[in-house]
A and B are shown apart, each in its own frame.
Chain A
Amino acid sequence: MLYRTAGQFKTSYKTDQALFPIRQDAILLAIILVFVWVIFPLTASEFTFQAILIPVLIFALASMGLNILTGFAGQLSLGTGAFMGVGAYACYKMITLMPWMNPIVAILLSGVFSAGIGVVFGIPSLRIKGFYLAIATLAAQFFLVWLFEKWAWLYNYNSSGAIQVPNLEMFGTYISGPQAASVTEYYVVLFVVTLLTMLCINLTRGNLGRTWKATRDMDIAAELIGINLMKSKLTAFAISSYIVGVAGALYVFMWKGAAEPNVFDIPLSFQVLFIAIIGGLGSIMGNFLGAILIVGLPVVLNLLPNLLGIPIDSAMVEHLNIMIVGSLIIFFLIIEPHGLARLWALIREKLIIWPFPH
C-alpha cells in the first residue's frame, strides 16, 4: 500500500538508472535526512551525541571503507584499525605542523596518506588470495601499530606517547578539541560522512564499481574480459584506505579527543569488520544499519540493568556485554548471513505487494 510501485513508469534510460528509481525510496531517504540534519541535533542530549550519534556515523564510515574492499572488491582485510590510525596520525601531524590549515581540509587530506600506505600493503593481493591475504593484512595491522608506538616524531615527542587534539577553530567557533560543542562536532562528522557516502554510492554504481564486482565474483573471468586486475585491486585498496583513514581522523578529532597507539589495535579492526558483515557485505546502507546495531547495542545493554532496577556491578555488565555481543553476532549470522541490508531488502519486497501475499 505505502510502498506500491505500480504506476511509476520509466520512459527514458536516464530515469531507469536514477539513484532512486522508486519514489518511496527517495521520500524515505528525505525523511531520514531531515531527522539526522535537523531533528536529532535539536533534541539530542550530550550523552546521545557522544555515545550514539557521533560514533555510529564514524564507524559506519570506516565500515563503508572496508566494505569497498571486502564487499565490493572481494579482498578480505583485517588491518582496518591500523589504517584508521594512519589517518589519525597524519591528520595530527598536519594540524600541528600547519596550524593555519582548515581542519576539515586536513581531515579530508589525511585519508590520502592512508591510501598510499594501503596501496603498499595491497600489493600482496596481486599474488595472494583469501585467508592468506587476510593474514597478510594483519602484517600491516601489527607493524603500523608498533610504528605508532616507536616513532616518536609521529606524536611530537610528548611524554605520554599519545596524540592530543588541540582546539581547532573555524568561522569563529571551535569545531574540535576539548572546547568544541558536541553539536558542532556532530555536524562536521555528518557533513564528511554524507559527502563520502554520496561518493561511494556513485563509485560503486559506476565503471569502477562494476570492475570491482567482476574481480570479486571471479577474478580470472574478469581478467579474460579485459579487466586489469592490478588496477582494479589497487584502486579498491586505495579508495578503501582513503575512506578508512578519514574515518580514523574523525574518530580521534571529533570523538575521542586523544588516542594512544593501542586504540588502533586489532579489536578496532574486528569491530569494523563486524559492522560490515552484520550490516551486509556489498551494500552501502548496510554499513549504517550494522553500525547502529554494533555501536548501539553495548550502550543499551549498559543502560538496561539500571532501567530494570537490577543491581549488577559495572565489571559484570562489561563481561555480560561481550558475551551477549558475541552470541548476537552468531545469531545474526545464522538467521541472515547476508546481513541486515538483505533483511531490509526482503522486508521491502514484502511491503511492495502488501497487503496481498503475492
Chain B
Amino acid sequence: MLNEIFIKPFVDMVEAPDFLLQVLWEGLVSGILYALIALGFVLIFRSSRIFNFAQGIMVVFAALTLVGLYAMGVPAWICVLLTLGVMFVLAVAIERVVLRPLVGQPDIILFMATIGITLFLIGFGEIIFGGENKVMISEELGIPTGDTVLEPWGGLLILQHLDITVVVVATLLVLALLAFLNYTQMGRAIRALGDDHQAALSVGISLQTVWVLVWFIAGIIALVTGIAWGARAGVSFALEVIAYKALPVLMLGGLESITGAIIGGLMIGMLEKLFEIYWGQPLLGGNTETWFAFVLALVVLLFRPQGLFGEKIIERV
C-alpha cells in the first residue's frame, strides 16, 4: 500500500517521461482556462468586493449566444462581434438592475444576488437557445484542428493544435489585460477603486462606469473561455461546472491578485491532472478532479490564510 502511494507513481513518471509530459501539457491547457475564469473573478472582486458567482454561467451564455447566432445564419466573425455586444448589454443591465440598488450592502447579499443572476441566465438561456448540447463553431472561427506529434526520448507526445491556439490566445489576452490595467487611464481607475473605494470616488472616478467596464471585461474573458472550452467539450450548461474549478484557484492565488490567479490556475490544472492519473485512478477509483483542487487549496490556506499572493490581512479592533 505504501509502495503504491509513495514509490510506484514516481517510478511510473520516470519510466515514461513522454506520458508525464503529455499529462502536464493537458493540465497546463485546462490550467490556463481555469486561470482565465479566475481572472474574471479577480477583476470584479478587486473593483467591487463582489464575489461573482455568475462568471461560470456567463461563459455558457456567451458560448450559447455565439453558437445560436451562427445557427441563425450570421457569418462567424460578425457573430463574435454581436456576442461581445450582448455581453456589453448584459454588463450594463447587471449594473443598472442588480448592483446599483445593492451598493453598500454586506458582501454576502451581493454574493447571493450573483447567484440570482446565475439562475436567471440559466432559465433565460434555456428558453432562447434550448438546453441540448451544441457543437462550437471552431472551424468557422478559424481555429485549427489536427495535431502535432513530437517524439521526446523516443516516446510520443501529442499536441492538439486547438490546445496550442488556446494557450497562445489566452496568453495574449492576459498580456493585453495587464497592459490595459497598468498603462491606460481606465485601467488605473479600476485599480484605484480596488485599492480604496472612498479615495477613488473622491478623486472623481465613476463607480458605475468602472463596474460596467469590469463586468464587460469579465464578459470578454467569458467569451474566450467559452469558445476554448466549447471547442474541447461541446457547448452545454455542463460547462458551468468549470466555474467551480476557478474557486480553488482563487483561494490558492488570493482573491485580489492577478498574478495569483494565473499561477494558481496553472498549478491547479497540472497538479490535479497528475494526481488523477498517478494516484486517483489506480488507488481511489478515479474522478478525483471534482475535489482535489479544493482540498489542495484548503491545505495551503491552513498555512497561508490569505492565499499565496493575497493581501496580508491586518486586523485591528
Contacts and interface: CB of A to CB of B under 8 A. Distances in A.
A333 B112 CA distance: 8
B77 interface: no
B244 A138 contact: yes
Q: List the 5 closest A-B pairs by CB distance, nearest first.
A: A323-B123, A326-B119, A326-B120, A139-B294, A322-B123
Interface string B269-296: 0000000000000001101101100110
A268 to B, nearest CB: 13
A146 B287 contact: yes
Nearest to A151: B285
A323 B291 contact: no
Interface string A77-111: 00000000000000000000000000000000000
Given A130-B107, A319-B126, 8 more contacts: A124-B298, A127-B301, A134-B51, A138-B247, A138-B248, A218-B317, A277-B112, A333-B113
B116 A320 contact: no
B112 A327 contact: no
Given A135-B248, A146-B290, A146-B291, A325 B112 contact: no
B95 to A, nearest CB: 13
B102 interface: yes
Contacts of A257: none
B119 A266 contact: no
11 contacts: A127-B305, A134-B111, A136-B297, A224-B317, A277-B109, A316-B127, A324-B123, A326-B123, A327-B120, A329-B112, A329-B119
Given A138-B294, A224-B317, A330-B98, A319 B307 contact: no
A51 to B, nearest CB: 20
Interface in A163-200: none
Main DSSP-derived SS at the B contact region: helix
Interface in A304-358: 315-316, 319-327, 329-330, 333-334, 337
Nearest to A140: B294
Contact of A326 (B106, B117, B298): B117
Interface in A229-287: 266, 270, 273-274, 277, 281
B297 A327 contact: no
A73 B302 CA distance: 20
Contacts of A321: 123
B115 interface: yes
Contacts, number: 136
How many A residues touch the partner, as a band?
35 or more
A262 to B, nearest CB: 11
Contact of B317 (A70, A129, A220, A324): A220
A127 B306 CA distance: 9
A20 interface: no
Nearest to A281: B108
A300 B124 CA distance: 20
Nearest to B252: A135
A3 B251 CA distance: 50
A337 B105 contact: yes
A37 interface: no
Interface of A: 70, 76, 124, 127-132, 134-136, 138-139, 142-143, 145-146, 149-150, 218, 220-221, 224, 266, 270, 273-274, 277, 281, 315-316, 319-327, 329-330, 333-334, 337
A135 B297 contact: yes
Interface of B: 51, 97-98, 101-102, 105-109, 111-113, 115-124, 126-127, 131, 244, 247-248, 250-251, 255, 284-285, 287-288, 290-291, 294-295, 297-298, 301-302, 305-307, 313, 315-317
Question: Interface centre among B105, B121, B251, B316, by most A CB within 10 Å?
Answer: B251
Contacts of B117: 326, 330
A119 B113 CA distance: 29
Contact of B115 (A135, A270, A323): A270
A326 B112 contact: no
Contacts of B290: 142, 145-146
Question: Interface centre among B247, B295, B313, B315, by most A CB within 10 Å?
Answer: B247
B116 A330 contact: yes
Given A329-B116, A330-B120, A129 B305 contact: yes
A136 B288 contact: no
A324 B302 CA distance: 40
Contacts of B119: 322-323, 325-326, 329
Contacts of A124: 298, 301-302
A220 B315 contact: yes
Contact of A136 (B101, B298, B306): B298
A240 B102 CA distance: 29
Contacts of B102: 333-334, 337
Nearest to A139: B294
A116 B34 CA distance: 33
A63 to B, nearest CB: 13
A134 B295 CA distance: 13
B133 to A, nearest CB: 16
A142 B126 CA distance: 26
Contact of B288 (A146, A281, A337): A146
Contacts of B51: 131, 134
Given A131-B51, A142-B290, A273-B112, A319 B127 contact: yes
Contact of B122 (A131, A132, A149, A326): A326
Contacts of B124: 323
A333 B109 contact: yes
B122 A322 contact: yes
A129 B101 CA distance: 26
A135 B291 contact: no
B121 to A, nearest CB: 8
A139 B284 contact: no
A70 B107 CA distance: 13
